[in-house]
Amino acid sequence: MITVPPYLKKGDTIGIVCPAGFMPLEKAQTCINTLQQWGYKVKVGKTLGNQFHYFSGTDEERLHNLQQMLDDDAVQAILCGRGGYGASRIIDALDFKRFKKKPKWIIGYSDITVLHAHLFTKLKTASIHSPMAAAFNDGGSEDEFVQSLRKAIAGKAYSYSCTPNILNRKGNTEGELIGGNLSLMVHLIGSASDVNTKNKILFLEDVGEYLYNIDRMFIQLKRAGKLDGLAGLIIGGFTDMKDTTTPFGQEVYDLIFDKIKEYTYPVCFDFPVSHSEKNYALKVGVKHSLSVGSKRVTLKAIN
């Protein structure tokens, strides 16, 4: 049974931390202002604006700051400022004892996939895969994707739709929604945060990878049994893909289709979850229904 943290109400506090890559404080200012306009208090963690080479601090600093937010009873949700890389360097040292007694929403995507997977696998607790601080900039705070986060943290029901892709496999299904960034889902295979995908709706997206590496990662998922027995599969945006000097020979959705064409569960391509601005807030671990039809694809949270 999945634990769903309490939804936020006006006056609640959202903590902002950077458990992975560096983010300048000024890049998060619009996010901070907007969260306050939504009626929330904001507690800025020490790692936002802090830098240690690529990271937002040493492993110890990032671990300590995230641990503080997890343990702080005055913080009702934790928004990760950005992803990048680094969450897996600290995940096994985090202490979730107090969090387990008083769970709160962990919000983010990309490298934050590590936290989503760990929360689902080890703590059976839901979290939110969604836009992070930079998405609020340049008018983004008003778009439907950032606004979908506003609705999700407040507990409002959601149902997202998109137009069908020619590669889709039609069907209707239900299951707990899990997934995130493909590279991180593959990175976690065999670890304590590895996700059991059986009977789940799996969603995947990625950015900036070579086509051959996407091919290799899907083969890894397949060989590890992660594509067997799914309730459904959602392929999000695979943006800024790169090719080798000698072309790989397939576009990204075509090579993914080749890896999953033998299965019979519903599949949706080009769903709006990605590293682009098209990135709906999704409650990881929560049961969803997926309908892949000839005219419309709909993903709906059931609880």
Helices (H) then strands (E): counts for the chain: 8, 13
Sign, CA torsion 54/59/65/70: positive
Six token digits for residue 218: 């899907």
Q: How many CA atoms lie within 13 A of 206 on its CB side?
A: 21
The 10 Å Cβ neighbour count of residue 187 is 20
Please classify residue 1 by burial: count the beta carbons closer than 10 Å to its beta carbon, then call 0-12 exposed, 13-18 middle and 19+ buried: exposed
Residues with catalytic annotation? 110, 205, 275
Are 24 and 30 spatial neighbours (Cβ–Cβ below 8 Å)? no
